[in-house]
Amino acid sequence: MQDNSNTILSEALEAISAADDLRTLDATRVAYLGKSGLVTGLLKALGAMAPDERREAGATINIVKNRIAEAIEAKRAILEGAALSTRLAAERVDVTLPARPLQRGTIHPISRTMEELTALFGAMGFVVKDGPDIEDDWYNFGALNIPAHHPARAMMDTFYLHAAGRNRPMVLRTQTSPLQVRTMLAEPPPIRMISPGRTYRSDHDATHSPMFHQCEGLVIDRGITLAHLKGCLMDFLRAFFEMPDLRARFRSSYFPFTEPSMEIDIAWDRKTGAIGGGDDWLEILGAGMVHANVLANCGIDPRDYQGFAFGMGVERITMLKHGIADLRNFYESDGRWLSHYGASPFAPVMLHEERGL
Amino acid sequence: MKFSLSWLKTHLDTDAPISVIAETLSSIGLEVEAIEDRAAGLAPFKIVRVIEAVQHPNADRLRVCRVQTDQGEVGVVCGAPNARTGMMAVFAPPGSVVPGSGMVLKIGEIRGVASAGMLVSERELGLGEDHDGIIDLPADAPLGMSYAHWAGLDDPIIEIGVTPNRGDGFSVRGVARDLAAAGLGTLRPWSPAPVLGVGESLVAWRNEFPDACPLVVGRTVRGVKNGESPDWLKRRLTAIGLRPISALVDITNFFTIDLGRPLHVFDAGKVTGGVLTLRRSAGERFAGLNGKDVFAGADDCVIADAQGAQSLAGIVGGEATSCDAATTDVFIECALFDRVRIALTGQRSGIHSDARQRFERGIDPSILPQALDAATAMIMALCGGQPSEMVAAGAEPTWQRDATLRFDRLGSFGGHPVSTDRAVSILQDLGFVVRAQDADQVTVGVPPWRNDVAVTRSNYTYDPAIYAVNGPVSLLDPAPELAAERAQRAAAGAAAVAAEVDLLEEVLRIDGLDRVVPVSLPAMSAVPQPTLTARQTRTMRARRVLAARGLDECVTFSFVAQATAAQFGAVPERLRLANPIAADLDQMRPTPLATLALAAQTNAARGMTDVALFEVGPGFVDATPSGQNLIAAGLRLGATPLSWLDGDRALDVWDAKGDLFAVLAELGVPLDSLSVTAEAPRHYHPGQSGTVRQGPRVVLGYFGTLHPSIATAFDLPMRSIGFELMLDAIADPKRRRKAAPDLSPLQPVRRDFAFVVDAVVPAETVIRAVRGAERTLITEVRLFDRYEGEHVPSGKVSLAVAVTLQPREKSLTDAEIETVAGKITAAVAKTTGGVLRGER
């Protein structure tokens, strides 16, 4: 009995060792451990034995059975691993082949800048106002202390429409200041607003476009002074250009709707175009304390409230920030230019994120 | 406005270098636009004497010169025909750069003779075109002196931009006064000696239009000789770009620039009738000194003699009565014209002149007789002659007015507490006269040349008619809708503070805005209020969705050629520009798709045929605020990107619909509430386009294949697709909390159905019928196949849908599923007549 078991065991282990695929291995399993297998046959024979003999033989057979089963499982793991390796080798692809094409579009740099303006001024408590591109000339001029004969009208080459409203000519707004007027008429102070948007002037050359974008701002409250104007704009410029120590100079100037009026230059290098460096100055903003007549035209008593307004060209600050050379490209919709200068739709403009295109 | 440094120094005693002058001018509001220093590149070039010029031994056209320089004698080979022994010339030493050519001079040898420099021509110095020979100076030209200095070229020309408020900035004297106030020197006094005129003027004034001209003075100078001006005057005018004409005319130009005081000279011999009348024009036309015909209408003031209009007052004189070389008796006009009328006449005539520029900004109304005397004196000095008595018509208007500055406002408005003494001294330096002062405030008289300070009736316009339009005390133009009380209170407030702010501006301007210490805006709340409205946020999200889907955002013009606009919508006359900058930019576009088509055309013409563009911008229906729609429009051309995996495929209407619905979904529009109908504007293919509505009326957008005629017109591929989303039509989301989500633990069941329906039945009807068949269980209906052909009867189509059933409380039994299936089949049969495929 003992010999028989050992014979079966050694034969089985040999067969298992010889099995070179799962099917052979399974056949081996059936041959020894299956219903009619040799080991099963030994177990069946136990019934005919005397109890003492059965116990001894049973223990032996079980050892044999377990060793065969273990050997089969071990072999199975080896064979399966080999089979998997073979399959994986067969399934190999050239991963340097390109993926399915991704069509990624871009946000226009003008929109991107306007979103950045929104984030920066939003952090200072400003809200964004928008409104019509077509205004009657009261909103664009009259309310802003620019009467019809005023030489300042010649400063802005205005587009007129054939339409007329309220007995006044309709114009394409030359600035987004009409939105300041609309806001002052509609809402009581305190006011903090910016109005990025399209503006129009009949000027067309390398550095002027008949349509362009401005962002104007207005702060009206009690106790707002020219020092706040400077603080607010310095805070903005340094954040926008991401230069905490950007130098700027404030020069007296004139706008009909502000007094005192000023233009603001930032330091730059004329030769390299680099912002912040160099000894040259580059005009970037117009600003001033809101003229008493403008406040009064909008029903605000300048004895109660005062404040400041400012305006800047969106294209201009975009060109400076990103080193874009030619204004005309902004409107030409050349796919190559858009891909080059456009911003990712996924790039956040939040202040706590690293900004940039 | 241009002037030379030397001209400035006739009014200002200063040692300040040009760089400091320029910086100061820009700081105080007289922005320097350019400084032209003609001497800058000419420093190396000095005056020399040609000791001897002899024929070159080896070249016919060359001379060998021995040249005496301040550094010693050098030998120069020269090709100029006028090089000769003894002449005074200009020498360029080795190492210097010749401005005209950029060439660096080297010591060399020309045909075997050494040459250590060059004798130069005007052209070589970049000073002119004269290249007939080298510069030939007078014998007394000092050897060794800088040529630029000798020629007066080392006098920098300063060009400033004068803002419209500063009439006085259009005079050298006004600029000098500002600089003196800013601490850059001392303003020289100006007090012309009175002229003792003798005898009656040959020409007298008659003023029939005092509203346009409250005061005019003049006089005749007899027996003048009107030749060329002396060098100093010619040089002064030439330097700033004015062409010398004749002494008399040059003198008027001199005073226009020097004092900002335009003058005009008539040839008294050409004035008919002995009287010049200021009057309204009778619609006259005359030849102007600008070389063009000048027309004057009834609202324009002219100066006329018995023959008619001879001058458009304050803007341009007439040819017929102008002075020329034969003039012997000259009549000088020195007038004060109303700035508003000049501005309006100027706009009407379109004539830009130095005189108009000054009159329309306002000139000094107090110096007419003195200016006339100064001009007379200069005429007598340069042209001789005998002055007559002064003739005048009208009276000097009241310009005197006071303004008060409360010192605390320097801090509480200007944010810069300038000391009292400093503030008062700045005002005094600018010509303001202190009338009263205490610890709290100062009251000053406003100088006559400052038409921009404490503006009142008496100094803004002399014309009551114009004034009546602008109101009695101020120049306000209040909003018509303001309540009377609010408007009056605000107007009174403006009247109370306006003059004071004028003075504040003067103090801050001269002290320097750079000295105001910046203060950050105080926070209104710890966390700022929302910056964008829901609508503005939607706009930003729409942009991001489209860019994420592969479209590049464009910004195109809001106006376009009318013919182009007409291909995309209505082109009402009210939306036409009255003064377009170009004929192809004359109509407000009905939709951004119009300009995107042009952009696509440009790209396609550059060989980029697979572009995808979008724009979020306005389209115009009429000229009112509500007639402007914010539209997200997109255009795709060509095919999907080529790939080794899937090849590529032509774009189709489903791409357009996909873009549109992607945005709608992102903007939170409940897609179940939308309906699509097979109609769209004319620029879409009529059979491959649709309109998306929310409810029966609200149109949210259009999509489709572009109409073949549009594709042809813009040279675009036939399978170009577009869409337009009306961003303003999207409603703000209701501010309510979302219901809890249905997170059933039970597995959903999917059942597929294929219905055979008439081909004309819209798929959406089938989908709606299925969805509506059992609302509590059916959570999703997805159409996954559309088939027509073999095994489907002609005129019919098979639509296959996958239906998801979501059990709520317990798993569905087969019987329950069969019941739902039965309801679905019945619902489709009822609404569309469709039957399950395989059934009859």
Is residue A77 scored above 70 in pLDDT? yes
Are B678 and B765 in contact, with CB atoms under 8 Å apart?
A: no
pLDDT in tens, A327-339: 999 999 999 999 9
Q: Is B462 an 8 Å CB contact of chain A? A: no
Contacts of A252 in chain B (CB under 8 A): 27-29, 505, 508-509, 513
Domain-located, residue A102: no
Q: What's the mean pLDDT in B736-753?
A: 88
The percentage of chain B sitting over the pLDDT mark of 70, rounded to a whole number, equals: 98
Q: What's the mean pLDDT in A301-313?
A: 97
Q: Which residue has the higher pLDDT, B699 or B111?
A: B699
Least confident of B52-61, B158-167, B265-274, B380-389: B52-61
Report pLDDT for B472. Answer: 39
Crossing angle between the packed helical segments A38-46 and A51-90, to the nearest 10 degrees: 160
pLDDT in tens, B363-372: 999 999 999 9
Question: Of A225, A302, A331, which has the smallest distance from its Cβ to B557's Cβ?
Answer: A331
Which domain covers residue A78, as residue numbers?
A: 2-89
CA-wise closest residue to B617 among A152, A40, A114, A238: A114
Least confident of B30-44, B398-412, B466-480, B659-673: B466-480
Report pLDDT for A137. Answer: 86
Are B705 and B688 in contact, with CB atoms under 8 Å apart?
A: yes
Same-domain check for residues A229 and A120: yes
What distance in Å separates the CA atoms of residue B488 and residue B832, rounded to the nearest whole number? 69
List the 139-168 stretch of A: residues with Cβ below 8 A of B. Answer: 142-143, 145, 147-152, 154-155, 159-163, 165-166
Q: Which residue of B has its CA nearest to A127?
A: B531
The percentage of chain B sitting over the pLDDT mark of 90, rounded to a whole number, equals: 75
Q: What's the mean pLDDT in B499-519?
A: 96
Same-domain check for residues A153 and A197: yes
Domain-located, residue A95: no
Q: Is A273 an 8 Å CB contact of chain B? A: no
Contact B554 A108 (CB under 8 A): yes
Contacts of B550 in chain A (CB under 8 A): 102-105
Domain-located, residue A129: yes
The answer, yes or no, to whether the previous bond of A260 is cis (omega within 30 of 0) is: yes
Q: Is A252 an 8 Å CB contact of chain B? A: yes
Domain-located, residue A340: yes
CA-wise closest residue to A215 among A306, A315, A346: A315
Q: What's the mean pLDDT in A286-297?
A: 96
Report pLDDT for B422. Answer: 96
Q: Which residue has the higher pLDDT, B615 or A205?
A: B615
Least confident of A150-159, A262-271, B273-282, B398-407: A150-159
Q: How far is CA B754 from CA B289, B760, B772, B786, B826, in A?
A: 90, 16, 17, 9, 13
Is residue A355 scored above 50 in pLDDT? no
Report pLDDT for A41. Answer: 86
Domain-located, residue A100: no
What distance in Å separates the CA atoms of residue A149 and residue B125, rounded to the nearest whole number? 46
pLDDT in tens, B823-839: 999 999 999 999 998 76
Q: How far is CA A77 from CA A14, A209, B625, B688, in A?
A: 17, 75, 77, 60
Contacts of B521 in chain A (CB under 8 A): 124-125, 192, 219, 228, 231-232, 235
Report pLDDT for A56. Answer: 85
pLDDT in tens, A130-176: 999 999 888 998 899 887 777 666 656 889 998 665 567 899 999 99
Report pLDDT for B799. Answer: 95
What distance in Å separates the CA atoms of residue A68 and residue A70, rounded to the nearest whole number? 5
Same-domain check for residues A117 and A35: no
Domain-located, residue A96: no
pLDDT in tens, B462-501: 877 665 554 434 578 889 889 999 999 999 999 899 999 9
Domain closes at, from A34, A55, A89: A89
CA torsion, ordered B482, B486, B491, B492, to nearest 10 deg: 170
Q: How far is CA A304 from CA A220, B498, B817, in A?
A: 10, 14, 74
Contacts of A315 in chain B (CB under 8 A): none
Q: What's the CATH code of the domain at A220?
A: 3.30.930.10
Same-domain check for residues A76 and A172: no
Query: For an interface test with B, which of A191, A254, A264, A298 has the most B Cβ atoms less than 10 Å from its Cβ?
Result: A254
Report pLDDT for B181. Answer: 97
Domain-located, residue A97: no
List the 298-357 stretch of A: residues with Cβ below 8 A of B. Answer: 298-304, 306, 330-336, 338-339, 342, 344-346
Report pLDDT for B473. Answer: 41
Contacts of B642 in chain A (CB under 8 A): 101
Question: Of B489, B577, B646, which has the smallest distance from its Cβ to A159's Cβ?
Answer: B577
Same-domain check for residues A120 and A175: yes
What distance in Å separates the CA atoms of residue A124 and residue A122, rounded to the nearest whole number? 5
Burial of residue B325 (number of CB atoms within 10 Å: 0-12, 13-18, 19+): exposed
Contact A110 B555 (CB under 8 A): yes
Report pLDDT for B470. Answer: 46
Are B633 and B593 in contact, with CB atoms under 8 Å apart?
A: yes
Same-domain check for residues A185 and A79: no
Q: How many helices (H) and strands (E) does chain A have?
A: 13, 10
Contacts of B552 in chain A (CB under 8 A): 105-106, 108, 333, 335, 338-339, 342
Range among A67-71, B9-13, B493-497 rated most confident: B9-13
Report pLDDT for B836. Answer: 92
Query: For an interface test with B, which of A229, A290, A297 has the most B Cβ atoms less than 10 Å from its Cβ?
Result: A297
Predicted complex ipTM: 0.87
Q: Which residue of A has its CA nearest to B559?
A: A211
Same-domain check for residues A161 and A68: no
Same-domain check for residues A132 and A64: no
Report pLDDT for B474. Answer: 52
Instruction: Band the pLDDT of B83: cuts 50, 70, 90.
Output: confident
Q: Which residue has the higher pLDDT, B432 or B78?
A: B432
Same-domain check for residues A161 and A285: yes
The structure tokens listed for B223 are 């027996």
Same-domain check for residues A117 and A81: no
For strands B275-280 and B204-207, give the pairing. Answer: parallel
Same-domain check for residues A298 and A239: yes
Compute the mean pLDDT over every residue in chain B, rounded to the nearest whole number: 92
Report pLDDT for B726. Answer: 97
Q: Which residue of A has its CA nearest to B160?
A: A253
Q: How far is CA B98 from CA B128, B129, B131, B358, B364, in A?
A: 14, 15, 14, 41, 47
What is the domain count for chain A? 2
Domain closes at, from A89, A121, A143: A89
pLDDT in tens, B145-194: 988 888 878 889 999 999 988 999 999 999 999 999 999 999 999 999 99
Are B593 and B680 in contact, with CB atoms under 8 Å apart?
A: no
Same-domain check for residues A235 and A169: yes
Crossing angle between the packed helical segments B420-429 and B484-511, to the nearest 10 degrees: 90
Contact A161 B557 (CB under 8 A): no
pLDDT in tens, B235-272: 899 889 899 999 999 999 999 999 999 999 999 999 99
The structure tokens listed for A352 are 């706590």
pLDDT in tens, B109-147: 888 888 888 898 888 887 766 667 888 888 888 999 988
Q: What's the mean pLDDT in B552-562?
A: 97
Q: What's the mean pLDDT in B630-653?
A: 93
Instruction: Band the pLDDT of A357: cuts 50, 70, 90.
Output: very low
The structure tokens listed for B29 are 């509001």
Domain-located, residue A122: yes
Report pLDDT for B732. Answer: 86
